[in-house]
């Protein structure tokens, strides 16, 4: 008998369909951080990311019979994740993220600094970027996050969002133009 770690996602999924909780746990372990990060980067707060990640995996569990294997499981999972995030943002009032929020993380690339001023400036920058990202139309925001933060290719983004590659190109072009228009004044003032 194969150990669960050696099984492919699709094989695990078949087991989940037969109520194998261990298999579901293995799938969760494989993708929890990937999904959690995607959601966190989309909504911007840790506690919302926690709630939505639960919703996403519950949705996967409930719709396991609907998976027909036309795409890879990871694509299917990210598609659910993106749709859950978009629906959540559509229904919800815009989050007011404060720079005093300890949940706001800083850039990976930023040099680790213990200077309070540097930390505050970094958090302020994060808040500005998140607000500007939130102001983008949902599809532009989704495409941008998948491309810039998750490093997906245009073809992968097209598959996740169920649109053509040329539509992804167009979304990303417009997203960047919008970001430039909104962020350039901050950049010129040295705030980001």
Q: How far apart are CA 183 and CA 126, in angstroms?
A: 12
Q: How far apart are CA 155 and CA 53, in angstroms?
A: 25
Give, as ranges, the residues between 148 and 187 that touch another protein (CB under 8 A).
148-149, 153-154, 169, 172-173, 176, 179-180, 183-184, 187
Look up tokens 């150990």; give the residue: 3
Q: Is 11 in the site for another protein (CB under 8 A)?
A: no
CB of residue 83 vs another protein: minimum separation in angstroms? Answer: 18
> For the chain, what's the residue count?
192
Angle at Cα 39 formed by Cα 36 and Cα 42, nearest 5°? 150
Give, as ranges, the residues between 45 and 84 that touch another protein (CB under 8 A).
46, 49-50, 53-54, 57-58, 61-62
Q: Is 88 in the site for another protein (CB under 8 A)?
A: no
- DSSP state for residue 162 in the 8-state scheme: T
Q: Is 105 in the site for another protein (CB under 8 A)?
A: yes
Q: How many CA atoms lie within 13 A of 140 on its CB side?
A: 16
Task: Using CB under 8 A, pick the residue from 74, 106, 124, 131 that binds another protein.
Answer: 106
Q: How far apart are CA 66 and CA 64, in angstroms?
A: 5
Q: Which is nearer to another protein, 69 or 135 (CB)?
A: 135
Task: Using CB under 8 A, pick the residue from 110, 118, 119, 163 that binds another protein.
Answer: 110
187: tokens are 């950049």
Q: Which residues of the chain form contacts with another protein (CB under 8 A)? A: 21, 25, 28-29, 32-33, 35-37, 40-41, 46, 49-50, 53-54, 57-58, 61-62, 105-110, 125-126, 129, 147-149, 153-154, 169, 172-173, 176, 179-180, 183-184, 187, 192
């Amino acid at each position: 008998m194969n150990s669960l770690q050696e099984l492919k996602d699709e094989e695990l999924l078949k087991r989940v369909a037969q109520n194998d909780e261990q298999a579901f746990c293995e799938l969760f372990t494989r993708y929890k951080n990937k999904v959690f990060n995607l959601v966190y980067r989309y909504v911007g707060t840790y506690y919302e990311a926690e709630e939505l990640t639960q919703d996403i995996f519950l949705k996967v569990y409930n719709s396991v019979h609907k998976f027909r294997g036309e795409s890879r499981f990871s694509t299917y999972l990210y598609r659910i994740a993106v749709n859950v995030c978009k629906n959540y943002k559509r229904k919800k009032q815009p989050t007011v993220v404060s720079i005093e929020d300890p949940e706001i993380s800083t850039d990976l690339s930023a040099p680790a600094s213990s200077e309070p001023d540097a930390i505050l400036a970094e958090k302020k920058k994060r808040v500005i970027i998140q607000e500007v990202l939130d102001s983008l139309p949902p599809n532009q925001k989704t495409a941008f996050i998948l491309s810039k933060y998750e490093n997906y290719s245009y073809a992968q983004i097209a598959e996740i969002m169920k649109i053509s590659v040329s539509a992804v190109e167009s979304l990303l072009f417009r997203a960047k133009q919008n970001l430039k228009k909104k962020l350039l004044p901050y950049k010129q003032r040295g705030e980001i």
